[in-house]
Amino acid sequence: MVSAPAPRWPGVDPAWSRRAVVDGHVWHYLDNSSSLTRTPRGTLLCVHGNPTWSYLWRSVLAAGAADGWRVVAVDQLEMGYSERTGTTHRLADRVRQLGALTDHLGLSGDSWDGLPVVTVGHDWGGVVSMGWAVDHPHELAALVLTNTGVHLAAGTRVPYLLRLARHRAVHSGATTLTPTFLDITLSLASPSLPTEVREAYRAPYRTADDRRGIGFFVEDIPVDADHPSHPELERIAAGVGALDVPALLMWGPKDPVFYERFLRDLMTRLPQADVHRFEGARHLVVEDADVAGTLVRWLDRRRIGTAESAGRRAKGTETGVTGHVDATVPTGASEPAGTGSSITGSGDAAQRAPYRPLYAALVEQSGSDAAAVVALSGHGTSMLSWADLARRVEHLARGLADSGVRPGHRVSLLVPPGIDLTTALFACLRIGATVVLADAGLGVRGLTRAVRGASPDHIIGIEKAMVAARLLGWPGQKFIVVPGWHEVGYTPPRTAHSRRRTFGIAGSFRELLARGAVLSAAGAALPPEPDPEADAAILFTSGSTGPAKGVVYTHRRLAGMRDVVAATYGLSPERPFVAGFAPFALLGTALGATSATPDMDVTAPATLTAGALANAVAAIDAYAVFASPSALANVVRTAGQLTAEQRDALGTVELLLSAGAPISSGRLAEVLEVMPSADPHTPYGMTEALPLTDVSLAQIRAAEADAVSGEVPGAGGGTCVGEPVPGASVRIVPLDDEGRATGEPTAAAGVTGEVLVSAANLKDRYDKLWGTQEHSATWPGWHRTGDVGHLDAVGRLWIEGRLTHVIVTPDGVVTPVQVENDVLGIPGVARAAAVGVGPVGAQQVVVVVQTDLTVHAGARRRPSLAPEGLARAVRAASDVPVAAVLRVPEVPTDVRHNSKVERARLAAWAGRFLAGERVGKP
């Protein structure tokens, strides 16, 4: 047995260290009961894996004590500071031994103290904890798991690192004779563990004798059906599927040991589970992310450990959350501290409104030969009539259903906007499959995170997607789309299409349509229409405010987006539009309107030229144009290349929508010179709800005049994005002195805080992000946007920046947008960012500018302090003190929209620059 000195492990109260003798064996465990100030709500039984020990759970011990939970974190025998018996303990032994210990401690058996037990496990300790849960259903209140696995499908290999550790040439030397296995495991933390924490993990494993348990544990991994522990693993796997208690799965997606497939398996066995994936976290997810905080919030939200929970459990009816994974916070959940009241949103009334499926327009116009979808490219123009589109959607739906796509299956669509994407989207919606949309603008890494995170059952994609899926291990049955296959004279190239076995391709888009046509002729029935409350789509955010998040929409909420757009802008089948902004590319079909996609890379909006836009407008005689600010900026830049015919075509546009990022009135005015008859509008919204407010150029100018006159309270101090659209509601959660949104939601004028919204087209939830969803739905039926702004006295919303970009100076809170707007009024300033440098409460405002080369000769030089004249102009323009002005060749923006300034990145860079560090471009 390893001797435990008086504990001085970082983060561990010495009073937590305990010992117990059970069946002749000495156990060490950590127990926070000495830190509890009231009767505990229950016990969290935490079980570590290999080669860690109970120290892994120190954050849970602390968080549990603060929230009224007794936490018992055990050192398994041969591990940590528990006894070294020198024998191999099989999985069944470990499960039985843990049960004997909990009996001894009064957590189970005849000595049970009656308090509910929540098991918490990691790595192979997760399997042991599941075994305990299966054997103790009476005591069990909930099951919590982090990066573990309980099943390997037949023919599936054990993860590489475990195979390597088991190899006869490596095993003993890596696990026992040297601390290699331990050190590799500790290196998997992200960010790296502090030296003192690494030493605490190493402390009980100093010698080869101390590390024998590590080697024994590796040997006990059931690699096949012949392994001695395989029957016990199978017993536990079957038993877990029968558990009817709340469950929480917290996962580090970058784990090189427990891959995403283990999470998918656990979700299948525990369909009631809430799931939270901590993007960027690895194997030691408890070290990498706020597992402890998420756990105690989950226990509170699910009312585990309450009298109500105990009553349900005693009756055998404690089932926890039912239905969707990541369900939103139930209406009956406890209100967050400090809210004090409830507010009524607009979503409930919308839920009772008549429902019309998103694909209804296809049925209604299936007899029309008018153009439905037009796609322009360098190869020419493709067009599909409503009758042809309806037929193709029906055939593809039948072909997909015949190929195994079932209602509820997830289908990742990796196809550029146009005829093929439109067909695939509506075919999937019709058969009840959930479409997953994440565009290539996220980059390879971002797209990989999105696809793996969504765990699609099927992928429909172009060749690049097939190659990436093969190389990067994207899950799902794969169907390839070869753009142009439907064009006259098409000849298949020698691509992934002709190398199916290499790329694991099950079939092609063309074959699915052909098969569907045969089935249609034979009278085969389509699946029943999906329920309005069933999942319809998972749309990924841009990733401009952190890793892209999957936003889940039901059929009703997705249809709500269509209806809000139609009601706000008067769009109808008689008013065709050009979509130069990817999220709107599919709305034309849903609205029953002809839509066209211009010749551009929709994942890079700034590739839209004035000529390409004019050609698309002319092709369908467009009433409206949808585009992002960066796309419109390039339209303005390239307007000089327009022919007379193209200028005439753009002159017929009546409605212009700039979406995706804020746009200044000056930029809208510049666009108006290119489309002189258009009424420019800019809706405010996000992937989670679009649109939420709307404002025209004329209304922006009126709002700016109100700001100057001061006659309308609250006018000014940001960018005006207008009043709520039909069915939407807006409130503000006021900021405190530290820049946090902690106040009571209000509609009062002039109060700056986080923007809170409710609408019929609001997301249902985030996918596999329980903690994020729980925070965003602090007020049920409402969504915390993360944006900062205020309302004025006439109900207009003014956006002032992001909550994470608020600057807290010694003189108070500063929001960045108004500072930037003031600086953008200086001649020659093309982009500007106001950021905070220094500790919160003592931050200084620093302005970073990008200047126009035609005005400032040094605009493209390396980063530097701004020239004296420019710095003086910036300080004069701003109403708040500016500590420093920096000039850079280019202010970084987000990938998808090329419009949202990356303030967090600039703040970190500016801090290093001003500290005298050698830094390159931000």
Rounded-to-integer distance, Cα 91 and Cα 96, Å? 9
Point out which residues pair with 864 in neighbouring strands: 887
Residue ranges in 413-549 assigned as alpha helix (H): 419-431, 443-454, 463-472, 500-503, 509-521
**Residue 387 sits in the same domain as residue 461:** yes
Per DSSP, which regions of 617-696 are E strands? 624-627, 655-658, 679-681, 684-686, 689-694
CATH classification at residue 427: 3.40.50.12780
d(CA 365, CA 362): 5
Give residue 483's pLDDT band: very low, low, confident or very high (50, 70, 90). Answer: confident
Q: Using one digit for the tens of pLDDT, what is the confidence trace for 143-192?
A: 999 999 998 765 566 666 666 666 666 667 789 999 999 999 999 999 99
Q: In the predicted model, what is the mean pLDDT of the chain?
A: 89
Q: Does 300 lie in the same domain as 393?
A: no
Q: Is 682 a domain residue?
A: no
> Over 80: is that where the pLDDT of 320 sits?
no
Alpha-carbon gap, residue 850 to 856, rounded angstroms: 10
Task: For 98-156, write each residue's pLDDT tens digit.
Answer: 999 999 999 999 999 899 999 999 999 999 999 999 999 999 999 999 999 998 765 56
Percentage, residues of the chain above pLDDT 70: 89
**pLDDT, position 440:** 76
Name the domain boundary from 257, 290, 314.
314
Query: How do residues 586-616 score in pLDDT, each as one tens digit?
Result: 888 999 999 999 998 876 788 999 999 999 9
Answer with the residue of higher pLDDT: 467 or 171: 467
Specify whether 137 is located in the same domain as 281. yes
pTM of the model: 0.90
Q: Is the pLDDT of residue 199 over 50?
A: yes
Does residue 269 lie in a domain region? yes
Pairing of strands 140-146, 247-251: parallel
Residues in Cβ contact with 385 at an 8 Å cutoff, skipping those fewer than 6 apart: 368, 369, 370, 371, 372
362 and 310 share one domain: no
Which of residues 223 and 724 earns the better pLDDT score? 724
What percentage of residues in the chain have a pLDDT greater than 90? 74
Rounded CA gap, 641 and 72, in Å? Answer: 72
Q: Residue 339 has what pLDDT?
A: 42
Q: By C-alpha distance, which of 99, 176, 166, 105 is closest to 131? A: 99
Does pLDDT of 773 surpass 80?
yes
Domain shared by 108 and 237, yes or no: yes
Could you say which of 254, 286, 314 is where a domain stops? 314
Give me the pLDDT at residue 699, please.
96
Q: Is the sign of the CA dihedral 772, 777, 781, 785 positive or negative?
A: negative
Rounded to an integer, the average pLDDT of 357-372 is 94
Lowest-pLDDT range of 56-65, 439-448, 640-649, 806-815:
439-448
Does residue 706 belong to any structural domain of this protein? no
How many structural domains does the chain have?
Answer: 3
Q: In which residue are the tokens 């700056």 written? A: 752
- Are 290 and 373 found together in one domain? no
pLDDT at residue number 4 = 60
Same domain, 373 and 281: no
Q: Are 189 and 284 in contact (CB under 8 A)?
A: yes
Quote the distance between the C-alpha of residue 548 and its chain's center. 5
From 314, 342, 370, give the residue that closes a domain.
314
Confidence band of 346 (pLDDT split at 50, 70, 90): low
The pLDDT of residue 223 is 78
Note whether residue 19 is domain-resident.
yes
Position 25 scores a pLDDT of: 95
CATH number where 32 lies: 3.40.50.1820
- CA dist 42 to 67, 112, 575, Å? 11, 12, 62
- Residues 487-507 have a mean pLDDT of 66
Same domain, 254 and 112: yes
Q: Would 272 be classed as within a structural domain?
A: yes
Same domain, 43 and 113: yes
Inside any domain, residue 66? yes
206, part of any domain? no
Question: What mean pLDDT comes out for the span 308-335?
Answer: 39
| Residue-level pLDDT at 850 | 93
- CATH number for the domain spanning 813: value is 3.30.300.30
- The answer on 380 and 285 residing in a single domain is no
317 pLDDT higher than 70: no
Predicted confidence band of residue 648 (pLDDT cuts 50, 70, 90): very high
Per-residue confidence band for 1, with pLDDT thresholds at 50, 70 and 90: low
Q: Report the pLDDT averaged over residues 302-306.
A: 87
Least confident among 268-282, 757-771, 802-816, 894-908: 894-908
| Cβ 504 vs Cβ 478: under 8 Å | yes
The set of residues, in sequence order, having a beta carbon less than 8 Å from that of 591 and lying 6+ positions away, is 361, 562, 565, 566, 571, 572, 573
Q: For 138-187, what is the HEC assignment? A: CCEEEEEEECCCCCCCCCCCCCHHHHHHHCCCCHHHHHHHCCHHHHHHHH
Query: If phi over 0 gives left and psi between -120 and 50 gives alpha, with beta otherwise, what is residue 24?
Result: left
The span from the CA of 247 to the CA of 783, in Å, is: 24
The tokens 């005006």 sit on which residue? Answer: 720
- Is residue 381 domain-resident? yes
| pLDDT (tens digit per residue) in 746-764 | 999 999 999 999 999 999 9
How far is the first Cα of the chain from the last one, in angstroms, to the nearest whole number? 53
Provide the pLDDT for residue 348.
Answer: 56
What is the band of 444 on the pLDDT scale with cuts at 50, 70, 90? confident
pLDDT, mean of residues 278-303: 96
pLDDT bracket for residue 872 (50, 70, 90): very high
State whether 299 and 379 are in the same domain: no
* Structure confidence at residue 870 (pLDDT): 94
Range of the domain at 846: 807-914
277 and 390 together in one domain: no
> pLDDT (tens digit, 9 = 90+) per residue, 532-549?
999 999 999 887 677 889
The DSSP string of 476-499 is SEEEE--TTTTSTT----SSGGG-
Task: Look at residue 377 in the predicted model and tell me its pLDDT.
Answer: 86
| Rounded CA Rg of the chain | 30
